[in-house]
Amino acid sequence: MSKKSMIIIGAGLAGLSTGCYAQMNGYEIKIFEHHSVAGGVAAVWKRGDYLIDGGIHFLICHKPGTPIYDVYSEIGAVGSYEIEDMNSYLRFVDENGSTIVEFTTDLEKLERDLIAIAPDDADDIRKLIKEVDWMKDSPLLTDLGMSISSPELRGRFDGVKDMWNMRSFMKYFTGRFSKSAAGYSEGLKTPILRTVIKNAFSPDIAFWFVIMILATVAGGHLGLFKKGCHEFVQSIVDKYESLGGQIKYSSTVEKVIVEDNIAVGVVLADGTEHRADVVVSAADGRSTIFDLLEGKYVDNKTQKRYDTWKPFDPILIASFGVNREFEKGPPFIALTLKKPLEYAGRSISFLPLRILNYGDAFAPEGKSVIQVMLETDWEYWYDLRQNHDDYKTVKKQFAEEIVKRLEDFYPGITSQIEVTDVATPYTSWRYTLNDKGSPMGWLLTRKTLTELVPRTLPGLENFYMAGHWVLPGGGVPGSIYTGRNVVQILCKRDGKEFKTKL
């Protein structure tokens, strides 16, 4: 019997994962990728002698012994890249360069340090640390509840089973922990603690997600790519190609061909038509549904999602290749600014700095790559980009202002900068086509957490979706799981056993 064919749109982690599992389960796959390399938002680029890692910051479940690690293993994403434990996540530093607090694996110390800066909030701090301590050993961290997240795979009693499995997490659906980090922090008395909590991840994210991040650090579940995140991507590309899959790069899909409400192929930007038995979009959700499919397969729920859900804010990444070394420590440092930084209509009092000195591939010996990453607004950068000269000027001014601020903490840094690179949300959109340059799809909120997004569209057959637009909160494991889900659904529909090996 001849194999069924499948076209996948996008060679990000979700597209590659779909491709691996589909090859293992008897499909013949071709991926069409817009960019000239695989990985999507998991991207690195070279600037002179420096390697800029503009993608995955840390890998969740990088060590054997968890369901997520087992899934990485299935698609070849273990063993072939260098990774080290992340024992410390983030250090907050005051205007004078002294540490305010550092989030490490040592929860007792963290509790003491937080109480030292905010004695009036001691009760809330103890409750928070108790929660982190409890969560660090919970199964939620090692499967993220994702094995149950595709509606098409669910049976009649799964809702009840979910409620039972999730009973200890119900407290995150209501009450203080269900608020955003900014909302939760408003209930704290001490201003510095309020700012630290609000900025520990992102002010808009559900606060229990911040608890989860602290718990993954405390539980030793995070790893740092010592040579850059592209090695992780490449390991999956290698697996996919070894299974017989193909990738066509610089091939943007402009239309999904539909006949009698069945997806039968795609049309590329160069006008060529390609046919297949199944089409999977592992690309941006909005453009897939409203452009490639012309908005013809949208029910009220889908429409409401795209009208009202908030994506993660896009980010601006200013990277610098610096002729200097930095003290080894956490990869992230939040620097308290003497005067707020006004940029693109926003004002910030902390400069979030990432120091990539946990591996030797980012910079030549004695030198370093550092990055400042700021949440920003798509519209500002999109409008600015309409005039290329203005866009370039603003990027340059922005980088200069950042360096000026860094000079307060690292005297002499201005003259040590050898390379400057500013990537805006527009840059991210240009290379990945993610809606408004979003780095991780939908923001995780109380609302998005409780709604399961289907991997199919109403009324359209032989068409599936994978990636961070069908799993709120996105992320590496999430995107990989959604690709696995798509092939699980196909196997179920075909009455076949789902295989995780060729």
Ligand X SMILES: Cc1cc2nc3c(=O)[nH]c(=O)nc-3n(C[C@H](O)[C@H](O)[C@H](O)COP(=O)(O)OP(=O)(O)OC[C@H]3O[C@@H](n4cnc5c(N)ncnc54)[C@H](O)[C@@H]3O)c2cc1C
Shortest spacing between CB 123 and ligand X, in angstroms: 32
Extended strands (E) in 20-71 = 27-32, 44-47, 50-53, 59-60
Cβ contact 267:253 at 8 Å: yes
Shortest spacing between CB 446 and ligand X, in angstroms: 20
* Amino acid sitting at position 126: R
Only one of the segments 123-131, 295-303, 339-347, 475-483 lies at the binding site for ligand X (rule: CB under 6 A); that segment is 475-483
Shortest spacing between CB 77 and ligand X, in angstroms: 12
The Cα–Cα gap between 158 and 33 comes to: 36
Within 8 A by CB and 6+ apart from 75, the residues are 16, 17, 20, 21, 236, 239, 240, 480
Cβ contact 370:236 at 8 Å: no
Return the number of the residue (193 or 433) whose C-beta is nearest ligand X.
433
Shortest spacing between CB 243 and ligand X, in angstroms: 18
Cβ contact 278:5 at 8 Å: yes
Q: With binding defined as CB under 6 A, does residue 474 bind ligand X?
A: yes
Distances in Å between the Cα of 203 and the Cα atoms of 175, 269, 375 are 17, 39, 10
Return the number of the residue (93 or 237) whose C-beta is nearest ligand X.
237
Shortest spacing between CB 469 and ligand X, in angstroms: 7
Extended strands (E) in 61-98 = 83-85, 88-93
Distances in Å between the Cα of 55 and the Cα atoms of 28, 40, 482 are 29, 9, 19
Cβ contact 376:346 at 8 Å: yes
Shortest spacing between CB 30 and ligand X, in angstroms: 12
Return the number of the residue (100 or 211) whose C-beta is nearest ligand X.
211
Q: With binding defined as CB under 6 A, does residue 61 bind ligand X?
A: no
Return the number of the residue (197 or 222) whose C-beta is nearest ligand X.
222
Q: What region, left, alpha or beta, does residue 335 occupy, with left being phi > 0 and alpha being psi -120 to 50 degrees?
A: beta
**Would you give the DSSP letter of residue 151?**
G
Query: How many positions of this chain bind ligand X (CB under 6 A)?
Result: 36
Return the number of the residue (86 or 399) whose C-beta is nearest ligand X.
86
Shortest spacing between CB 118 and ligand X, in angstroms: 28
Return the number of the residue (190 or 287) whose C-beta is nearest ligand X.
287
Cα angle value 210/212/217 (rounded, 5°): 100
For residue 401, with 0-12 CB atoms within 10 Å meaning exposed, 13-18 middle and 19 or more buried, which class applies? middle
Site string for ligand X, 233-262 (x = CB under 6 A): -------------------xx---------
Only one of the segments 91-99, 158-166, 326-334, 472-480 lies at the binding site for ligand X (rule: CB under 6 A); that segment is 472-480
Q: With binding defined as CB under 6 A, does residue 285 bind ligand X?
A: no
Shortest spacing between CB 116 and ligand X, in angstroms: 29
Q: Exactly one of 479, 481, 484, 490 binds ligand X (CB under 6 A); which one? A: 479
The Cα–Cα gap between 296 and 459 comes to: 9
Q: Exactly one of 42, 101, 118, 489 binds ligand X (CB under 6 A); which one? A: 42
Q: Per-residue b/e over 57-69, b at no fewer than 16 CB within 10 Å?
A: bbbbbbeeebebb
Residues 2-41, interacting with ligand X (CB under 6 A): 9-15, 32-35, 40-41
Return the number of the residue (14 or 118) whose C-beta is nearest ligand X.
14
Site string for ligand X, 423-442 (x = CB under 6 A): ---------xxx----xx--
User: How much of the chain is helix, strand and coil, in % rounded to 5?
Assistant: 40, 25, 35
Chain positions contacting ligand X, by CB under 6 A = 9-15, 32-35, 40-42, 54-58, 60, 252-253, 282-284, 432-434, 439-440, 467-468, 474-476, 479
